[in-house]
Amino acid sequence: MKPRNARLLLSLALFGLLAACGGENTKPTPPQAVRPATPVKPVKIGVALGGGAAKGFAHIGVIKMLEANGFEPVVVSGTSAGSVVGALYASGMNAFDMQQKAVALDEASIRDLRLFSGGLIQGQKLQDYVNTQVGNKPAEQLRKPFAAVATQLETGDRAVFVRGNVGQAVRASSSIPGVFEPVSIGGKTYVDGGVVSPVPVDAARQLGAEFVIAVDISSRASGQRPSGLLGAVNQSITIMGQRLGEQELGRADVVIRPAVLDIGAADFEQRGRAILEGEKAAMAAMPQIRAGIARLQQAQTAAIRTAEARTSAAQAEAHQRCQDSRTRIEKLRGVEKNCSAPAR
């Protein structure tokens, strides 16, 4: 073999050896595999407990059935009677604890008439009772996020109390005009939250609830012509509250209506029946609650999968751009760049 040919063959062999070594030392690095879908987090359930005086005992029955079926609310909002039950529940009591409190409740312990103010209830006893039950903790230290909704009398604006004195907030939320004295807080005057928000669905959303279960125990128009001037006024107020409440209830995921409309505002003797009606109404709503939560979880799963698919496609595209950026010699030698994406 001629020396020139021998040198040529030797050069080709060395080049091939170098190419083989380079390819072996820099193996292709595929895009990082997308992690399996993260399990869907539990849906944040909120309850919006409406006002209704003694009918409010029905809220206890509703909460009892929600807990029994695995749908424990994690945020609570309440108006008037709903704020009383809501505060106790947010403090850490379960439905059975609240039922025991309700059975043992002496009406005199929360009613303090003031003769010089026309026989109105002052509300201080109610405030003290609630604060005692929640361990005198401010709202921001309760176990569950809690909001009590009241109405600012000077402006008619909705007031949502989520911090500070729980009993005072409940007292303001429960100050039914003509029955309770208005409450002064921070130089402003507050009355019953039912004037602007009979069932506080929006407040529950503001607390972070993803699925809101509203409990409506508010009065309805009787369907009969009222007798006398006072009857006409009461019927008119009921109709206004009914129309106002319908708008906010439309923003709830599920509305539960216990059959307690015939229970009087001060009929504490009917507390046992009200609790039972709350249980019955909640059980009747369970299929709707399960279906609604399942739809929400499916939507969350679909959103996660879409996001992961986009991430995977973006990683593949970035990997290809990285490989396309190789020099001509690297491509001829079959050298793959290390284009691994950083760990997430």
Q: Of 144, 161, 192, 193, nearest to 46 (Cα)?
A: 144
Tokens in use for 342? 């950083």
3-state class (DSSP) for residue 174: coil
What is the rounded average pLDDT of the residues 237-241?
A: 62
Could you report the per-residue pLDDT of 109-158, keeping only the tens digit for each?
A: 888 876 555 558 899 999 999 999 999 999 999 999 999 999 999 999 99
- Between CA 172 and CA 183 the distance in angstroms is 6
Which pLDDT score is estimated for 211?
98
Q: Look at 306 and 84; give whichever has higher pLDDT.
A: 84
Q: How many domains are there within the chain? A: 1
Q: Look at 157 and 28; give whichever has higher pLDDT.
A: 157
Q: In this structure, is the dihedral angle defined by the CA atoms of residues 288, 291, 295 and 297, taken in order, positive or negative?
A: positive
Ranges of H-type helices in 75-194: 81-90, 95-104, 124-133, 166-173
Strand 146-152 versus strand 188-192 pairing type: antiparallel
- Between CA 69 and CA 66 the distance in angstroms is 5
Q: What percentage of the chain exceeds 90 in pLDDT?
A: 55
- Between CA 57 and CA 84 the distance in angstroms is 10
Residue 80 has pLDDT above 60, yes or no: yes
Residue 95 has pLDDT above 90, yes or no: yes
- Between CA 266 and CA 54 the distance in angstroms is 6
The residues pairing with 159 across neighbouring beta strands, listed in sequence order, are 150
Residue 81 has pLDDT above 90, yes or no: yes
Which pLDDT score is estimated for 20?
44
Choice among 158-162, 164-168, 239-243, 336-340 with the minimum mean pLDDT: 239-243
**Catalytic one of 77, 80, 173, 175:** 80
What is the rounded average pLDDT of the residues 75-99?
A: 97
Q: Look at 48 and 324; give whichever has higher pLDDT.
A: 48
Average pLDDT score over the chain: 83
Tokens in use for 317? 């595209």
Residue 312 forms part of a structural domain: no
Q: What percentage of the chain exceeds 70 in pLDDT?
A: 76
Residue 285 forms part of a structural domain: yes
Residue 290 forms part of a structural domain: yes
Choice among 31-40, 98-107, 243-252 with the minimum mean pLDDT: 31-40
The enclosing domain of 121 has a CATH number of 3.40.1090.10
Which pLDDT score is estimated for 26?
44
The alpha carbon of 106 is separated from its chain's Cα centroid by a whole number of angstroms, namely 32
What is the rounded average pLDDT of the residues 273-298?
A: 96
Annotation says 192 is catalytic: yes
What is the rounded average pLDDT of the residues 178-203?
A: 93
Please give the torsion angle defined by the CA atoms of residues 85, 91, 97 and 103, in that order, rounded to the nearest 10 degrees. Answer: -40
Which pLDDT score is estimated for 154?
94
Residue 100 forms part of a structural domain: yes
- Between CA 297 and CA 290 the distance in angstroms is 11
Residue span of the structural domain in which 286 resides: 45-222+232-298
pTM of the model: 0.77
Annotation says 11 is catalytic: no
C-alpha to C-alpha distances, 187 to 84, 184, 191, 294, nearest whole angstrom: 23, 6, 14, 46
Residue 255 forms part of a structural domain: yes
Residue 310 forms part of a structural domain: no
Q: In this structure, is the dihedral angle defined by the CA atoms of residues 55, 59, 60 and 65, taken in order, positive or negative?
A: positive
Could you report the per-residue pLDDT of 208-217, keeping only the tens digit for each?
A: 999 999 999 9
What is the rounded average pLDDT of the residues 257-275?
A: 92
Residue 10: which pLDDT band, with cuts at 50, 70 and 90? Answer: very low
Choice among 17-31, 45-59, 71-85, 268-282 with the minimum mean pLDDT: 17-31
Cβ atoms 27, 56 nearer than 8 A? no
Q: Of 339, 322, 344, 333, nearest to 30 (Cα)?
A: 339
Give the number of other CB atoms < 10 A from CB of residue 59.
33
- Between CA 199 and CA 49 the distance in angstroms is 6
Residue 8 forms part of a structural domain: no
Residue 292 forms part of a structural domain: yes
**Catalytic one of 83, 91, 174, 192:** 192
Q: Of 61, 49, 260, nearest to 149 (Cα)?
A: 49
Which pLDDT score is estimated for 119?
55
Choice among 164-178, 204-218, 291-305, 316-330 with the minimum mean pLDDT: 316-330
Q: In this structure, is the dihedral angle defined by the CA atoms of residues 93, 95, 97 and 101, taken in order, positive or negative?
A: positive
Q: In this structure, is the dihedral angle defined by the CA atoms of residues 97, 98, 99 and 101, taken in order, positive or negative?
A: positive
Residue 37: which pLDDT band, with cuts at 50, 70 and 90? Answer: low
Residue 279: which pLDDT band, with cuts at 50, 70 and 90? Answer: very high
Choice among 106-120, 223-237, 294-308 with the minimum mean pLDDT: 223-237
**H or E element, residue 75:** strand 75-79
Residue listed under structure tokens 């401010």 = 138
